Structure 1
């Protein structure tokens, strides 16, 4: 079913919105259709055995308000009653949330659907342009973001509705193009002999890339976390770290350009995630933009498509809140992704 404001499927307030990633979870409470979301502190998913206890401890125990609806964006495919997160031990069981935590209904979205909802109404202050291009107001858009994994979603416009298109686009193939790439690629850790975009363009992927660069140079690779590599690159004292961060941005731009062509994203391509915000000061934006546009025979087309870094830190929660306030603006299919309590059906 498609939710619209006029239908009986419109959300019941108060609404709890949640952005559940592989590493962190963020929640906010919206009291009514006019209220701004009240955000709660970000938590690490590893600090709680399951989402039920996290919501109880971090939200319900901190407010006297009982949410009637939960709209949760999760990092993983939504299939059935038990929803596994791709990069976390959490399993989301909507019926249990209804039975144990008192919700009337639970709606589950993909985490990058929430990011797509956000870019439908992202303000200029919430984004930074990478190069040129002109965003067309009602044209398709793409959002991608390196984090625990690589998330991807599209946003298309049809019949006056914004329609988010989720998938597992982070697992597309990523191959070498330059001589330097060919030196690095044999040293990358693969999955069953395959290098997907996510093998490079996420937190562990940056470590994978840095290690491969060091091995190709016949050098040690002392850094073992994305933060260490990024700090070393920004400090300017480690050539392998600096190259890893720059190539990370270039490869991300290549994938972003591919996705722009897939969706004909004249409304813009948006890159989110904390990792990219951290590496941005250490990269050559002009090289990144050049990699984005290097899509012969469509280079001229690509020059007109804008590329943005999302600077709004809670973009997914903002997108979920915008949806909760304005469901009529979205053609969001909830069949198989919306659970309603028996008491609400009466």
Structure 2
């Protein structure tokens, strides 16, 4: 097996595409460059010991189509021949996958590179705007999404090519700012003494905020899952849940604004993932946009940057499909991330 570094080399159809997160994995097969992706049921990562077993059982055993290539987006840094997911015990081993699953060509990307690619592939009908601002067509963009973790990626345009910029921006430090923050943050669970964005802005982060508010106020906080907290916030049945989601939205606005400044995202900031989609009505009414714009001395600049919630449930797959059809349209670096038999 040899690694291929030629980013312009096309992929051979059929192509298996996969968006593999910490909790869920979504797969589809592209028959050719004109066909719509053939989607398969969402896979719960906890149901299978390995990704190879999941693909064999849930995809290959359910179709007569034998993919020749695969483009996989994984929730974790892509480095070497064994790729460990950040919030899942699965390990992607492309060489073993070629032998076991009959794949000739495998490209492995970061999951939020796929989300960044989706920003170009999706139409306005799959987005809800929060606040004002008009996107500049070829300007930089940022994608971030609270899910099992907090994913972040940039998207820049150069030489008529869209270039996704992966990273681990979800692990940036986040500290208290308002008087209420200073009451609640001492009760936030830390990792090695620090509070990162991901300690607040993901599923377990929402639970973290909820329990911290309960401890700060000395009141019951009985819920243990993000779904319970968001449901109680949406129907207003639990005051602590309402405040937890409100604080979540404000913190999300703060970190989204920070990232927008880093990338000068005049092309827009895009929120993705199940949590953002579920609480979009609360996001619109919350202090998210005020926190996003509160970046003195650049508040006027921030007011002109649009923010969207991506509503398509399979957005990353559409991004992977767009790349798989026309890889030359995107400046995706495949050196050390592509394997061909």
* TM bracket, shorter-chain basis: over 0.9
- 2:287 aligns to what? 287
Counterpart check, 1:69 vs 2:73: no
5 Å-filtered alignment, 1:150-189, equals: 150-189=150-189
CA contact (8 A) 2:130 2:308 kept: yes
Q: Deviations over 1:34-81 (max 9, x none)?
A: 111111010100000100010001111111111000100000111111
> How many angstroms apart in 1 are the aligned matches of 2:20 and 2:283?
29
Alpha-carbon contact 2:198-2:205 (below 8 Å) kept: yes
**Corresponding residue for residue 222 of structure 2:** 222
Q: Which residue of 1 aligns with 2:241?
A: 241
**Equivalent residues in 2 for 1:297-316, closer than 5 Å:** 297-316=297-316
Q: Deviations over 1:234-281 (max 9, x none)?
A: 121211100000110110011000000000000000000001111223
Partner of 2:205: 205
* Cα pair distance change 1:30/1:158, threshold 3 Å: same
Contact 2:121 2:318 in 1 (8 A): no
Q: Distance in 2 between matches of 1:116 and 1:149?
A: 16
Map of 1:251 onto structure 2: 251
Greater displacement, 165-174 / 276-285: 276-285
Q: Distance in 1 between matches of 2:121 and 2:134?
A: 16
| 1:192 Cα deviation from its structure 2 partner | 1.0
Write the distance in 2 (CA, Å) between the matches of 1:282 and 1:217.
23
2:281 is paired with a residue whose SS is helix
The answer on whether the counterparts of 2:249 and 2:286 sit within 8 Å (CA) in structure 1 is no
Q: Counterparts of 1:66 and 1:22 in 2: how far apart (Å)?
A: 26
| Contact 2:142 2:154 (C-alpha < 8 Å) held by counterparts | yes
**2:122, 2:66 → 1: CA distance?**
29
Q: Deviations over 1:138-173 (max 9, x none)?
A: 110000000000000000011111000001000001
Match of 2:265 in 1: 265
SS at match of 2:279: helix
Q: Are the equivalent residues in 2 in contact too, given 1:257–1:302 (CA < 8 A)?
A: yes
Q: Distance in 1 between matches of 2:284 and 2:156?
A: 30
Q: Displacement of 1:283 after TM fit?
A: 4.2
Aligned length: 337
**Who is 2:190 aligned against?**
190
Helix, strand or coil for the counterpart of 1:320?
helix
- Find the counterpart in structure 1 of residue 37 from structure 2: 37
Name the TM-score, length of structure 1 as normaliser: 0.96
- Once the two structures are superposed, residues 177-205 of structure 1 have per-residue CA deviations (whole angstroms, 9 ceiling, x without a partner) of 10000000100000111000000000000
Alpha-carbon offset, residue 121 of structure 1? 2.6
- Give the structure 2 partner of residue 24 of structure 1: 24
Distance 1:326 1:273 in 2: 25
The answer as to whether partners of 1:267 and 1:306 remain within 8 angstroms in 2 is yes
Residue in structure 2 matched with residue 114 of structure 1 by the alignment:
114
The normalised TM-score by structure 2 is 0.97
Give the C-alpha shift of residue 219 in structure 1.
Answer: 0.8
Give the match's secondary structure for 1:120: helix
Structure-2 separation of matches of 1:113 and 1:31: 22
Aligned twin of 2:7: 3
Shift of 1:231: 1.0
Say if 2:130 and 2:284, in contact at 8 Å, map to a contact too. Answer: no
Distance in 2 of aligned mates of 1:282 and 1:123: 23
